DNA sequence: AGTGACAATGCATACGATTGCATGCATAAA
DNA sequence: TTTATGCATGCAATCGTATGCATTGTCACT
């Protein structure tokens, strides 16, 4: 009585167990279960015996073992940039939907826009191979990402960032164009001449690209840009508050409108402005980017550039699965639409 | 030239590769890398050779293979009930933090409170074994969950639901007590005598438990409950709106305060009331539960019962890891604090 | 010098599945 | 009756790692 063996076999049933119970060999069980494999014939009799045994033992194939043998894990990994940013929720949901259709599991990770978390994620997916990766890189360099891909041969779909690699597909939103148009709209249709920006030229992606579009639009219209009105922003709610605080401290001439590079910052800015006694949009108008759920909660309701995160998620996922199906697939750069939604904040 | 072999070895390096390069056997490499294993001695010389080879080949252990051998995957799975509910974000974050400390990977799934998604999740973690599971069960029966656990011997930590099983630990928030107290506070301190409820007795967990506390509190105070003021609610923003719509359609005598069983529904209710021309809290006050980020975004700012999701997540995770370390650990039922936060909506 | 202890390492096997190849059998063709 | 054909199945190797056991060499001690 060295080991307690009260449980006859307190572990999930294996193929061997099924085989023994059905009175066939273990490979036969495998063939019955993977009947989809063409050109393999199994007698109806043994198929029934095997299925009965499977049923009786409540057998489920061990995906780990299968993955080791086939080098395919039936799993993709997703790294989003900020789980607190509602923008990513429909994306995650859409990805899970597409994955479900193909019987893939999804492993979601959240980088919180922190570099070490991004590195850890890459480390994790090289140690635990997955069939594909979807990610929103913020700090990670394209080169580093490229090296991961060539080293592991893992297809990757990236959101927002252009990465030049034959195994990496990209989905983006022409956000620069959208910001450019929105900025011009603020000037031409709304008559603003003092515009501020939250999320500056030297911040995290996609900051610089969008900020540049903002600056370009104003240059085009020959509207001067007040450097004190270019605020940094880290794409969080708190970041939006901080930007406005900095604005209030460093200048007494407020812009008439603030262009925030995402909704979270826009909302933070609105809250902070209101707490400081300013009226939005009368004293300072605010416009955001993304059209997240909170945009209709905040008062005044947020004028913003809507993206279609569900569409983005679906594009990312289908792109990825197509490449998983055929590594040689030509590289794709997909565009997801965006459009201005005018509510009350600007 | 049957196969293209342009890449000398276009696949991640294995232990065998490292062994060959270092001129030792594969088990030796394994021992060098798992040096933590006590009582195994490796000469400094070979250790250096091996580490050099590891470095040169950029070797990373394959967690799949290791998991197959050791029956430990270094991975836990988390199923949250609604990724759009901010309440779960700090929970997920805390779990990831704790897991990171222990070098575990986390696989997050989102059930969206849909039964089939819950089933799919259980199916996924029985096919792809994990070392532990954290979940927020909504539809799944305790019995089904218990069967999964006994079948697979997987430790589980559950949020909010009492499940009686030696391998299942529970973290909850005494939400019934909190609702009870808040209800009494609304009556005694705020003078309300017409109270409504969003999230009724026969809804999803944790609805019934909290609803019962609401009813109990009023019975205790001998305040009558108007059945037309007991609204169903599915714990989503939309659900809150629908509840108010139903209320407006079915009765013309509005309650003076609405107790929503979570913040998302409370916010939905506020928005819907305002759109219908009512003032919050003057016409109808609203109180929520959770204290999610949006509670301070909505106007009027939401009076609510605050939970501590980060604490909950930490408790769930540490509980789980303790049990992973020792399956025989006595079963624990942990309580996480909650307290009323009075803002402007009630 | 003989013996035992211990350090350092290799050999072989196992984890749970897939898959190329071989084999046995029944049936059809010669 | 003999030979060819194809269906149904078993055998054995393999994926990458961990580990019990055996083996070798070194050293100290009697």
Residue B92: list chain A partners with CB under 8 A: 83, 110
- pLDDT value for A256: 97
Q: Which of B13, B64, B72, B150 to mutate to test the interface with A (most CBs of A within 10 A)?
A: B64
User: What is the full DSSP assignment across A271-298?
Assistant: HHHHHTT--TTTTSEEEEEE--GGGGTS
- pLDDT value for A6: 34
Q: How confident is the model over A246-267, as pLDDT tens digits?
A: 999 998 899 999 999 999 999 9
- pLDDT value for A213: 96
Q: What is the mean pLDDT of residues A113-128?
A: 96
8 Å CB contact of B65 and A68 = yes
Instruction: With beta carbons less than 8 A apart as the criterion, state whether A255 and A229 touch.
Output: yes
B146 in A contact zone (CB under 8 Å): no
Q: Which domains does chain A have, with CATH numbers?
A: 15-61 (1.10.260.40), 74-173+309-336 (3.40.50.2300), 175-307 (3.40.50.2300)
The packing angle between helices B237-250 and B263-275, to 10°, is 50
- pLDDT of A3 > 50? The answer is no
Q: What is the pLDDT along chain B (346 residues), one digit of tens a residue?
A: 333 333 445 789 999 999 999 999 999 999 999 876 556 788 889 999 999 999 999 999 999 999 999 999 999 999 999 999 999 999 999 999 999 999 999 999 999 999 999 999 999 999 999 999 999 999 999 999 999 999 999 999 999 989 999 999 999 999 999 999 999 999 999 999 999 999 988 888 899 999 999 999 999 999 999 999 999 999 999 999 999 999 999 988 999 999 999 999 999 999 999 999 999 999 999 999 999 999 999 999 999 999 999 999 999 999 999 999 999 999 999 999 999 999 999 9
Q: What is the mean pLDDT of residues A281-289?
A: 97
B14 in A contact zone (CB under 8 Å): no
Band of pLDDT at residue A38, cut at 50, 70 and 90: low
- Percentage of residues of chain A with pLDDT beyond 70: 96
In the stretch 214-273 of chain B, residues with CB closer than 8 A to chain A read 237, 267, 271
| Exposed / middle / buried, residue A202 (Cβ in 10 Å: 0-12, 13-18, 19+) | exposed
Q: Three-state DSSP class for A82?
A: coil
- pLDDT value for B3: 33
Q: Three-state DSSP class for B257?
A: strand
Band of pLDDT at residue A8, cut at 50, 70 and 90: very low
Give the mean pLDDT of chain A: 93
Q: How confident is the model over A61-73, as pLDDT tens digits?
A: 999 999 999 999 9
- pLDDT value for A1: 30
Distance B32 CA to D30 C1' (A): 36
Please tell me the distance from the alpha carbon of residue B261 to that of residue B210, in angstroms, as a whole number: 7
8 Å CB contact of A110 and B93 = yes
Q: How confident is the model over A133-148, as pLDDT tens digits?
A: 999 999 999 999 999 9
Please tell me the distance from the alpha carbon of residue A44 to that of residue A34, in angstroms, as a whole number: 14
| Exposed / middle / buried, residue B323 (Cβ in 10 Å: 0-12, 13-18, 19+) | buried
Residue closest to A337 by CA, chosen among A322, A318, A315: A315
8 Å CB contact of A128 and B75 = yes
- pLDDT value for B4: 35
How many CB contacts within 8 angstroms connect chain A with chain B?
111
CA distances, B206 to each of A126, B175, B200 (Å): 39, 9, 10
Q: What is the mean pLDDT of residues A208-222?
A: 95
């Amino acid at each position: 009585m060295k080991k307690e063996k009260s449980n006859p076999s307190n572990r999930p049933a294996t193929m061997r167990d099924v085989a023994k119970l059905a009175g066939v060999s273990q490979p036969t069980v495998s063939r019955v279960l993977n009947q989809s494999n063409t050109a393999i014939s199994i007698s109806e009799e043994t198929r029934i015996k095997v299925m009965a045994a499977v049923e009786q033992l409540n057998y489920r194939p061990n995906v780990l073992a299968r993955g080791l043998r086939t080098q395919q894990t039936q799993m993709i990994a997703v790294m989003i940039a900020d789980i607190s940013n509602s923008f990513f929720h429909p994306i995650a949901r859409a990805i899970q939907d597409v994955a479900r259709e193909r019987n893939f599991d999804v492993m979601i990770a959240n980088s919180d826009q922190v570099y070490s978390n991004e590195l850890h994620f890459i480390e994790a997916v090289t140690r635990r191979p997955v069939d594909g990766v979807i990610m929103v890189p913020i700090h990670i360099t394209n080169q580093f990402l490229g090296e991961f891909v060539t080293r592991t041969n893992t297809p990757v779909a990236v959101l927002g960032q252009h990465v030049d690699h034959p195994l990496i597909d990209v989905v983006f939103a022409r956000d620069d164009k959208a910001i450019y148009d929105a900025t011009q709209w603020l000037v031409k249709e709304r008559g603003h001449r003092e515009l501020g920006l939250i999320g500056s030229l030297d911040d995290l992606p996609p900051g610089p690209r969008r900020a540049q579009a903002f600056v370009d639009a104003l240059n085009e219209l020959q509207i001067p840009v007040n450097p004190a009105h270019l605020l940094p922003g880290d794409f969080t709610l708190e970041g939006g508050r901080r930007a406005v605080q900095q604005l209030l401290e460093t200048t007494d001439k407020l812009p008439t409108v603030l262009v925030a590079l995402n909704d979270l910052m826009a909302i933070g800015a609105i809250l902070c402005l209101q707490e400081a006694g300013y009226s939005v949009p009368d004293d300072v108008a605010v416009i955001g980017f993304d059209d997240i759920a909170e945009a209709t909660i905040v008062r005044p309701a947020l004028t913003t550039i809507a993206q279609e995160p569900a569409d983005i998620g679906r594009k990312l996922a289908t792109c990825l699965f197509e490449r998983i199906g055929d590594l040689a697939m030509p590289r794709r750069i997909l565009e997801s639409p965006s459009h201005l939604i005018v509510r009350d904040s600007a």
